[in-house]
Structure 1
Amino acid sequence: MKKLFLFLFILQAYGADYSTIRDELLLADDQAHGVTRLNQVSGNKDFRQLVDGKIWFLSYGTELYAYASESVDDTSWGCAWRAIQTTLTAYLRGVPTFKELYETYGGRPFMQEQLDELYPEYKDQQWLAPHETWNMWSDPVIGKMILHSLGIPSTLVSLNGIAPSKSPKVTDVTIDYKTFRRLVLQHFRKGGSPVMIDNSSYAMNILGAGKWGNHLYLLIGDPHLNFERDANPLNGLYVVELDRDGALVELVYPMIKNHFDPESYRAFNTFGNQNWNLLFAE
């Protein structure tokens, strides 16, 4: 409840001066929440078949948010905002809507205030805020600032190096794939929240993890869903198996027919060799 009050305070302080979602992106049909809740789908036979023997630890309280919900058509540009919403479901009973997140946190004044406190070294960099660009993007750096403003500790992690972004190029720590494997397993073993990941083209969430030998299994919550989709509770959920070097061994995606952009899940083909920005909330 305290975090909800903090959000409402920030909305009042910053929201009025910021850009709004463009009219042509507003939809008449309102889907108030995300596409699925893990604690509701956990008993589903098809979900158990997807994760059993592979995913040992899950963020059960998660609600996955995806494209074209909450009366906003964010297809092809809003995946990072959706990944932030998914992360927040672990902390807030009432998650801010897409429109509230964008209009409250997408402007330069909010970002500059947070960056001054978190990463003072950014001052010499050239950067843009989401309200300053047509595609209205977001990324884990903005996710970190949102969590910080709500009093939620988090660590901004770069896998292999910082992935390109319009945000300042900042990170808390840079790691290799071997360290990532250990970190992500430890995070979910302790009951961790969804991990936001972004390679500068596609953002999504890791919702759980497990291992077998040197192979890592990740349960992915992917927001890149078709505008027209059925209401299957497994939408956006798939498991990737990565070898000891982070290359894809297998991807199991029951509802792949409802996916919008296959390049998002193809990013896991060479996951361990790419630069990724990751946000681990504590």
Structure 2
Amino acid sequence: MKPTLKISETVINRLTNVQEPCLGNLFGVFYNKTQYIIGLCLNFDDEHSQIVQHFPTEVELCGIFEVSDSGKFDHTKLKDTIENVIITDNPLYLKVTIGANTNVEATLIVNNKLEMANIEVLKEEDLYSQFLHIRLRAQLPLVCSPDEENIEEALHELRQHFEDKMAFHFQKQHVFLLENVVNGISSDSTVGDLCKHTSSTNAFNKNNMALDVLQADMLKKVSQEMNTEAKKNHAPILCVDKKKYESLIMVLNLDALSMIHRNFPLKNVYEILISSLYRNIVIIKRTILRHFQQSGGDHSKISYPEIFHFFPEECGHFITKVYAKNESDCSLERERKKLHSRLLLPVTHPVFRRSNKFLFKEENQHNTLLINPHDGLKPTTNDGDIALVKGIYKYYHYCQDRMDDDGWGCAYRSLQTLASWFYLQGYTEKPVPTFKEIQKCLVDIGDKPSNFIGSKQWIGSTEVNFVLSSLLNITCKILYCSSGEDVASKGSELLNHFQTHGSPIMIGGGVLAHTILGVDYNRQTGNIKFLILDPHYTGGENLQ
């Protein structure tokens, strides 16, 4: 019996936007006789088979896709892929014909024959209402001789230590998971039941969509089983070998994701979490060995590997990358562009810079600044075209950072909000400037006198433009309006900005400044409504 086939809307969108013939792999999760296809990867080099290590655990190879501009397809290309599909007996062959009317056709291998299959396109919110993620973090020591062979062997041995020697702790739920044993909750519980015990939602997705991410820690078993054969007792023996010895010592911070159906039995999650650690070590090993080779064998130049999780809007799922700590985003540009091409993602904006990393709720609790406070607002009744800021930003307002800027700092705060957007979208590596840095920048370019630094003098749109250009290398456009009525006449232009660029807009008049996050513009009546982020707010950040 062939399985039900459900394909993520983001996969369909990427395939139907392809302009040239190509071939690639499809990835997904198999659960309860259903194939959920959530990802893809082009086959244009030998590295395409390694991409699955960057997906959440349980996402595996499911089949291939072929894009043709002639309507002719080569079914023999399935042969090599079938041997590597392990989660289903019915690999998928997706055929995409590009042209005036792009067509997507699905076939499944059933009893060594291709059979047509119906496709159910799954929206992102529907997909993640059925699945959740487990984020497992752990620390492991890496100690070995500083040569390539020993580094690789030591990392391989770390994987062997996992088997039957680990336990996992779900922090907020106070649940412990040993091999096929659950403590703290009924053994018949599902993964989804853990979400009912606490709020685990991470809502800082690019799509303004809540994701459930359960946090887990790894514990290492140090006691022995009672029924193991007693070891013989003897006097300790100490061997001393006096010689010069060099070693590579590094603490690896593992950070692994798994994607699991909510109805999956919790007691069976143990092996999945072990597999997620395996994947983490594999991608960490590649980074360490690459740096070792680039350093000419000098282990002192090996940079610490850092793990980042990304959730690009056009991708629709997590991608995990390991970057060396001393590598700048600029030095990684070639690698990031290659990943864009491999995943059929647009190259119009970055999505794999460090600043693009997914903001987990637990990580942001220590950050007092609110993120996207406009999320969840009810729509207006203007009956117009609505366009909002794209991506995420931090809300800067009066009296933050222990500074009393009430009455004069609104434009500074609006500028900081804009700068946070450019940073979090990956358009710049420079952090949000402080008041002093803003003032110093204006003095350095000759716009203000030296006594401006440390003063309480306000700034306007022109100064915001100067600072964004000088500090962040961001080109701005200023629209001059003589009145509020004149601002409303810019409705079409503002709507186009949010539909295409999507950055917040600073608006200043006199000594007042605000930030525009979106518009609702009715082309028929000319009426326009603005979504305003007010920097004049002086309250706290702990809002519910």
* TM superposition score normalised by structure 2: 0.28
User: What corresponds to 2:456 in structure 1?
Assistant: 135
The answer to whether structure 1 residue 96 and structure 2 residue 408 are counterparts is: no
Q: Distance in 2 between matches of 1:129 and 1:141?
A: 18
Three-state SS of the structure 1 residue aligned to 2:403 is: coil
Matching residue of 2:183 = none
Letter in 2 for 1:231: N
Give the drift of 1:202. 0.6
Q: Measured at CA, do residues 104 and 92 of structure 1 come closer, stay the same or move farther in structure 2, by a change above 3 Å?
A: farther
Q: Which of 145, 167, 181 lines up with 2:466 in the alignment? A: 145
Could you say which residue in structure 2 is the equivalent of 1:203? 513
Deviations 1:111-151 (A, max 9, x none): 44xxxxxxxxxxxxxx7677079423121111111121222
On the 8 A contact 1:34/1:65 being kept in 2, the answer is no
* Selected match of 2:495 from 154, 167, 185: 185
What residue in structure 2 maps to residue 70 of structure 1?
401
1:214/1:51 CA distance change after superposition, 3 Å? closer
1:214 is aligned to 2:526: yes
**What SS class does the counterpart of residue 423 from structure 2 fall into?**
coil
TM-fit CA distance, 1:160: 2.2
Which residue matches 2:543?
232
Please list the CA deviations of residues 51-82 of structure 1 after superposition, one character each: whole Å capped at 9, or x if unmatched.
99677211142222101112322111111100
* Structure number with higher helix proportion: 1
CA distance in 1, matches of 2:382, 2:541: 25
What is the aligned partner in structure 2 of residue 194 from structure 1? 504
Correspondence 1:246-261 to 2 at 5 A: none
Q: 1:178 to 1:155 in 2, by over 3 A?
A: same
CA contact (8 A) 1:55 1:219 kept: no
Distance in 1 (CA, whole Å) between partners of 2:496 and 2:450 is 33
Counterpart CA distance in 2 for 1:194 and 1:34 is 21
Match of 2:371 in 1: 37
Does 1:110 find its partner at 2:445? yes
CA contact (8 A) 1:209 1:219 kept: yes
Indicate if the aligned counterparts of 2:440 and 2:453 stay in contact, CA closer than 8 A. Answer: no
Question: Helix, strand or coil for the counterpart of 2:422?
Answer: coil
Whole-Å separation in 2 of the counterparts to 1:36 and 1:92: 15
1: CA distance, partners of 2:366 / 2:451: 23
Q: Distance in 1 between matches of 2:404 and 2:454?
A: 17
The equivalent of 1:57 in structure 2 is: 387
Equivalent residues of 1:67, 1:79 under 8 A apart: yes
Distance 1:219 1:207, change over 3 A: same
The change in CA–CA distance for 1:129 and 1:139 in structure 2 (over 3 A counts) is: farther
Q: Pick from 472, 477, 491: which aligns with 1:155?
A: 477
Change (3 A) 1:68 1:215: same
SS of residue matched to 1:63: coil
Q: Larger Cα Rg: Structure 1 or Structure 2? A: 2
**Change beyond 3 A, Cα 1:71–1:2:** farther
Deviation per CA, 1:216-274, whole angstroms, max 9, x where unpaired? 01100111012x446326xxxxxxxxxxxxxxxxxxxxxxxxxxxxxxxxxxxxxxxxx
Change (3 A) 1:225 1:51: farther
Q: Distance in 2 between matches of 1:218 and 1:129?
A: 37
Residues 209, 216 of structure 1: 8 Å contact kept: yes
RMSD: 3.6
Higher strand share: 2
1:92 is aligned with what amino acid? Y
Amino acid aligned to 2:543:
N
Partner of residue 123, structure 1 = none
> Higher relative CO (CA 8 A, sep ≥ 6), structure 1 or 2?
1
Amino acid of the structure 1 residue aligned with 2:491: R
Q: Compared with structure 1, are the counterparts of its residues 41 and 203 closer, same or farther at alpha carbon in structure 2 (3 Å cutoff)?
A: closer
Contact kept? 1:79, 1:204, Cα under 8 Å? yes
Greater mean deviation of Cα atoms: 135-144 or 178-187 = 178-187
Equivalent residues, number: 174
SS at match of 1:209: strand
